[in-house]
Amino acid sequence: MNAQLQYDAAEALAVDEIPVIDFAPFLTGTPQDRAAVAAEIDRACRTIGFFYLTNHGVPETLRQSVLAEARDFFARSFDEKMACAPILDGQWCGYLPARGAAEGTKPGGSLTEEGRKAKTVSGGSLEQFNMMRVRLADDPHYADPDPIYQNNRWPEGAPGFVETMIVNQRALLLLAGELMRAFAIALGLEEEHFVRLHRSPLATFGLNFYPQPLPGAGDVGVGAHCDASSFTVLLQDEVGGLEVQTRDGRWISAPVVPGAYVINIGDTMMAWTNGQFVSTFHRVVSRKPQDRFSATMFVNPDREVVVEPVAALVGQGQQALYEPFLNDDYMRGFFVKFYDSMFK
C-alpha cells in the first residue's frame, strides 16, 4: 500500500458530462413529466453513471443539520470516537479511522470472484461513521436477530445526533423509492420493479470526514473505486473534491451544485441492467486547504434477493454478462472485508 498515493489534477467538468436533473416534475408532474425526467436519468446512467439531483424533496435544513452533526462528531477526541468503533468481529457500524491510501477495483469488480476475494478496500485520509438502516415496526425483519442487521453504535451523549440521523434515513429512503421508480421507467420495466427488491433493504449510511491535507502527506481522500450498491446518494459540503472517470478514461472534477444530491450507479444496478447502466470509477481528492464533510446512503437490496440481469434487458442474441448472486452472501462478504480487517 502506497501511503503517498497522489493523483494528477482532474479536468474541469464540461456542462453536459454530469447532468443536473430537476426531480420536481417526477415527484409532482404528469405521467409525461415523469417519463421525461426518467429519460434524462436514463441518458446519464448509460453514459457516465452519475447525475446531480435537484428539487428532490429533502429539506435543506435537514441536509445542513446532517453536515453540522458530522462536524461535531469528528471534532471529538480520538478516544471518544473509538468508543463507538466496530472493534469486534461481526460489528460493522460505528467509527472508522483512516485506512491509508489504496486503490479500488475495476468497474463491476465487486461482482467478480477476484474482487470478492480482494483483501483491501479503497482507502485514503477518510474517517467515517457508518450506520445501518434503522428498522421500523412494519419492517418484515424488525425483530430478526441475524447479525446482517446491525445495531447502530451511537456516540455517547448525542441525542440530537441520533434523532437527526434517523430523520435523515427516513427522508432518503423515501427519495430512494422514487429514484427506483424512475430507473424502472427509464428501462421500460414495471414501475415498482426495483421497489419490490428493496422492501427491507440492507441500506447503509455514512458520515465522511476528509481532513485538510498536511504538507507531504498526500492528497487522496479516498482512492479510485466503484460502489458495491444498487446506487448511492451523496450529500457534499461546499468544499467539494469528488472526481469521476469518463468512459474514455479522463478524470473530471464534479463540483458542488448547491442544494443537489449526487447520485451514482453501483455494481448491483449494473448487473441488473446487464451493463446498460454503468458503475463508474470515482475518487475524492483534497485539493483545498480545508476540511471536507459529506454524507452518503448506499442503497442495497433485500438480503433474500438474487441479483442477475433482468431478462427483458438482455437483448436478443446477447448473453447475460453477470452471474447470479445472492445478495445476502454478497453483502456479508463486503461488510467483513470492509470492517473486520480494520482492526487486525
* pLDDT tens, residue by residue, 185-240: 999 999 999 999 999 999 999 999 988 866 554 577 778 888 989 999 999 999 98
The residue type found at 148 is I
pLDDT over 90 percentage in the chain: 58
pLDDT top residue among 285 and 301: 301
Amino acid 218: pLDDT: 53
pLDDT over 70 percentage in the chain: 83
d(CA 302, CA 168): 20
3-state helix, strand, coil in the chain (%, to 5): 30, 20, 50
CA distances from 312 to 26, 54, 108, 272 (A): 24, 30, 20, 10
pLDDT of 245 strictly over 80: yes
Residue pLDDT, tens place only, 167-182: 999 999 999 999 999 9
CA distances from 219 to 8, 91, 133, 249, 327 (A): 10, 30, 31, 21, 34
Q: Please, which residues bridge with residue 292 across strands? A: 210
> Residue 53, SS3?
strand
Binned at pLDDT 50, 70 and 90, residue 273 comes out as: very high
| Range picked from 89-93, 103-107, 155-159 for highest mean pLDDT | 155-159
Amino acid 289: pLDDT: 81
pLDDT of 77 strictly over 60: yes
Amino acid 212: pLDDT: 80
- Whether the CB-CB separation of 183 and 264 falls below 8 Å is answered with no
Amino acid 216: pLDDT: 52
Q: At 306, which helix (H) or strand (E)?
A: strand 306-307
DSSP 343: G
Residue pLDDT, tens place only, 96-135: 887 654 444 555 444 455 555 555 555 567 889 999 999 8
Q: Please, which residues bridge with residue 94 across strands? A: 130
- Whether the CB-CB separation of 134 and 152 falls below 8 Å is answered with yes
- Whether the CB-CB separation of 230 and 242 falls below 8 Å is answered with no
Residue pLDDT, tens place only, 25-45: 999 999 999 999 999 999 999
Q: Which is it for strands 20-22 and 50-54: parallel, antiparallel or unpaired?
A: parallel
When pLDDT is averaged across residues 63-70 and rounded to a whole number, the result is 98
What does the block give as the cell for 312?
427483458
Hey, which CATH number is domain 20-343, 3.30.565.10, 2.60.120.330, 2.40.10.340, 2.60.120.460? Answer: 2.60.120.330
Binned at pLDDT 50, 70 and 90, residue 149 comes out as: confident
Amino acid 121: pLDDT: 55
Amino acid 288: pLDDT: 80
16: number of Cβ within 10 Å: 9
Q: At 183, which helix (H) or strand (E)?
A: helix 159-186
- Whether the CB-CB separation of 153 and 94 falls below 8 Å is answered with yes
Binned at pLDDT 50, 70 and 90, residue 13 comes out as: low
The residue type found at 20 is V
d(CA 126, CA 209): 6
